[in-house]
């Protein structure tokens, strides 16, 4: 059995899916990257399997998704949000962090189909102060968004997961395992499922290990609540329906050329 080269998301929300994978050297060779980098490495064949932003599945033909596993939210996700001092319906410009292309694509869908606005999008590094000097709102993702103390500086937080579920009544799929052709065997898939189950049993320990150092019990509690309440890791029928709706909306707005077919490894 060949060793599969893996790029996984470095954020807190992905850690339950990779629990112990780096110790299975006979099956996986693991590295950790920001979401956009995971996708780029898969696209240029530097890795065989990537935990990639869901929109990136549509960028190349021939991909397959590992069944049943994903990073999913139903309602508030907490780690993908707009920060601003004005309502979303009044935004004229938005600074975006380009490290997750799915978050940016979702934001474009929500602006067009939910907020009914046509803002200018400006790509900037994920620094809230800098972003808000240039634009009416800032899109932050991952741990930066999760731990942002927005209320102390007078900002509202518009949770994109919550807005999507309010609009569609469906979950949103943020990421999943994607590879090419026959790269992934049934043995690899079972190992990925086992890693998820192990991660789900160790959520509290993951939260304690990965909460920002020096911030004490409050940050650990934020991480613990996030892993238990905001994200789930099963790509079930409802999640698949949400994924297809997102792909169709992105294609309708010409964010991607077409919605394509959602195909899974056997």
Structure confidence by residue, pLDDT tens digits, 71-121: 999 999 999 999 999 999 999 999 998 777 899 999 999 999 999 999 999
Mean pLDDT of the chain: 94
d(CA 151, CA 140) in angstroms, rounded, equals 15
Which tokens go with 74? 């139903």
The tens digit of pLDDT for each residue in 157-184 reads 999 999 999 999 999 999 999 998 788 9
Q: Delimit the domains of the chain by residue range.
A: 4-72+172-252, 80-168
How many other C-beta atoms are found inside a 10 Å radius of the C-beta of residue 194?
Answer: 14
Which CATH topology does 80-168 take?
D-Maltodextrin-Binding Protein; domain 2 (3.40.190)
Which tokens go with 248? 């169709």
The tens digit of pLDDT for each residue in 87-97 reads 999 999 999 98
Which tokens go with 184? 């992934």
Residue 214: the pLDDT is: 63
Residue 81: the pLDDT is: 97
Please give the radius of gyration of the chain, using alpha carbons only, rounded to the nearest integer.
18
Residue 1: the pLDDT is: 63
The answer for residues whose C-beta is within 8 angstroms of residue 102's C-beta and 6 or more apart is: 35, 53, 54, 55, 56, 174, 175
Which residue ranges in the chain fall short of pLDDT 70? 1, 214-215
Residue 196: in which H helix or E strand, if any?
helix 186-201
Same CATH topology for 4-72+172-252 and 80-168: the answer is: yes
Domain at 4-72+172-252: CATH code? 3.40.190.10
Q: Are 235 and 69 in contact (CB under 8 A)?
A: yes
Residue 61: the pLDDT is: 86
Residue 36: the pLDDT is: 86
DSSP letter at 212 equals P
């Amino acid at each position: 059995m060949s060793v599969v080269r893996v790029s996984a998301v470095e954020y807190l929300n992905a850690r339950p899916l990779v629990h112990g994978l780096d110790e299975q050297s006979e099956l996986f060779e693991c590295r950790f990257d920001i979401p956009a980098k995971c996708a780029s490495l898969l696209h240029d064949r530097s890795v065989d399997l990537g935990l990639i932003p869901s929109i990136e599945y549509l960028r190349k033909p021939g991909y397959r998704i590992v069944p049943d596993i994903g990073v999913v939210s139903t309602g508030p996700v907490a780690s993908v949000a707009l920060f601003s001092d004005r309502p979303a319906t009044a935004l004229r410009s938005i600074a975006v962090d380009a490290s997750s292309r799915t978050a940016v694509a979702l934001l474009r869908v929500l602006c067009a189909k939910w907020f009914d606005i046509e803002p200018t999008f400006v790509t900037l590094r994920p620094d809230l102060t800098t972003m808000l000097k240039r634009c009416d709102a800032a899109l932050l993702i991952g741990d930066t968004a999760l731990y942002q103390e927005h209320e102390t500086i007078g900002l509202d937080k518009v949770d994109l997961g919550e807005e999507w579920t309010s609009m569609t009544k469906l979950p949103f799929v943020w990421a999943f395992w994607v590879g090419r052709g026959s790269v992934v065997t049934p043995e690899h898939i079972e190992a990925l499922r086992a890693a998820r189950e192990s991660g789900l049993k160790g959520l509290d320990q993951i939260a304690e290990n990965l909460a920002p150092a020096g911030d004490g019990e409050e940050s650990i509690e934020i991480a613990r609540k996030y892993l238990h309440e905001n994200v789930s890791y099963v790509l079930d029928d409802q999640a698949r329906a949400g994924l297809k709706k997102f792909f169709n909306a992105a294609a309708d707005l010409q964010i991607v050329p077409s919605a394509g077919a959602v195909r899974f490894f056997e």
